[in-house]
Amino acid sequence: MPTSTQTQSADQPALRTSDVFIYLVMGIFFGVVLILSEVVSWFRIQEMFRFQSFHMYGIIGSAVAVAAVSIQLLKRMNATTIRGEPIKIKDKPWNKGTNQLIGGTVFGLGWGLLGACPGPIYALIGAGITPVIVGLLAALLGALTYGHLKPNLPH
Amino acid sequence: MELMSTSWPWYVAGPIIGLMVPALLLLTGKAFGISSSLKHTCAATLPTKAEYFQYDWRASGLWNLVFVAGILIGGVLAVQVFGGGGPTGISDATQTDLRALGLTDFSGLVPPELFSWSALSTPAGFVAIVLGGFLVGFGARYAGGCTSGHAIMGLASLQLPSLIAVIGFFIGGLTTTYLLLPLIL
């Protein structure tokens, strides 16, 4: 187990208290929106994959549009974080797209079954759909399995 | 049976979710994404030797774990305080299709025929929850992101890997919808 103290200076903890507050509030806000817009609904995911409503496409599409315009604005203005640190958006690792295509397809198979991607999994548990706790444990097992098989999988 | 959905319309929810991206960047410089929380949880709790989990999870992942804890609390508040979690306002066409598969209860966010503790021990419930969850976790980490990291953050920052991943999401989702679900239900 690597020690975390070696990689950080003493005056910079892994997470500042003020940041904990920011992430918690943003998470709560996101969770509320996910439920009230029914993004977490298994039925909505079915409706999306059956192309029977614009709802999910409208949400994802407008979210992407708003985020894309925001990112372009931040870049053009050379915006920094509120602490004055430069904002860097890392490129996703790219080889031949093999892992994105296979991994994405595997994810999609599960998304259709569980009707929830990782964010909604947490929101559904909070909403009291307790069997989804088993789904989260299975997702953790999936991530664990991937971590062990990674050296042997095409990427 | 008249069930009223109180869903927020897409043009309210979508832009709000989109604004999470610049908000995170401006406040703390983090890239929006959720499925890495699965990796961080494994790294934080399990004594695994796989190289994939050998990193300082506190430095790179603690923020993400706090964020998803917030999402869970948000789920509690949405239902207990804001009255969410009622019937989903899906289209008649979808209801008809799902009824044909034997799913008839649209009074909540999930079909109780699959998502209840008693359904967990049925083949259909087990496949939906356990296999579904496993594939979501495995696939998201294999692809390097999920709906938030690839479909929203990745597409918004014009990344080709994310477009490929989203195409995969739909290949998988359509396969489940039209081939797997009719098999298990």
Q: What is the ipTM of this complex?
A: 0.96
Which helix (H) or strand (E) segment holds residue B49: the answer is: none
How does residue A61 score in pLDDT terms, banded at 50, 70 and 90? Answer: very high
Helix residue ranges per DSSP H, chain B: 10-28, 36-45, 57-80, 92-100, 123-126, 132-143, 155-156, 160-175, 181-184
Q: What is the reported pLDDT for B3?
A: 54
B32 CB burial (10 A radius; 0-12, 13-18, 19+): buried
Which member of A31, A37, A81 has the closest CB to residue B27?
A81
**Is the four-CA dihedral B3, B125, B175, A62 of positive or negative sign?**
positive
Rounded to 5 degrees, φ, ψ at B158 are: 55, 50
Interface of A with B in 87-116 (CB under 8 A): 87-94, 97, 99-116
Task: For residue A105, list chain B residues with Cβ-Cβ distance below 8 A.
Answer: 139, 168-169, 171-172, 175
pLDDT in tens, B52-102: 999 999 999 999 999 999 999 999 999 999 999 989 989 999 999 999 999
pLDDT in tens, A84-142: 999 999 899 888 999 999 999 999 999 999 999 999 999 999 999 999 999 999 999 99
Interface of B with A in 89-148 (CB under 8 A): 89-91, 93-94, 97-98, 106, 108-111, 114-117, 119-120, 125, 127-148
Rounded to 5 degrees, φ, ψ at B123 are: -55, -45
Whether the predicted pLDDT of A2 surpasses 50: no
Q: What is the reported pLDDT for B136?
A: 98
Gyration radius (Cα) of chain B, Å: 19
CB within 8 Å: A19 and B129? no
pLDDT in tens, B39-61: 999 999 998 899 999 999 999 99
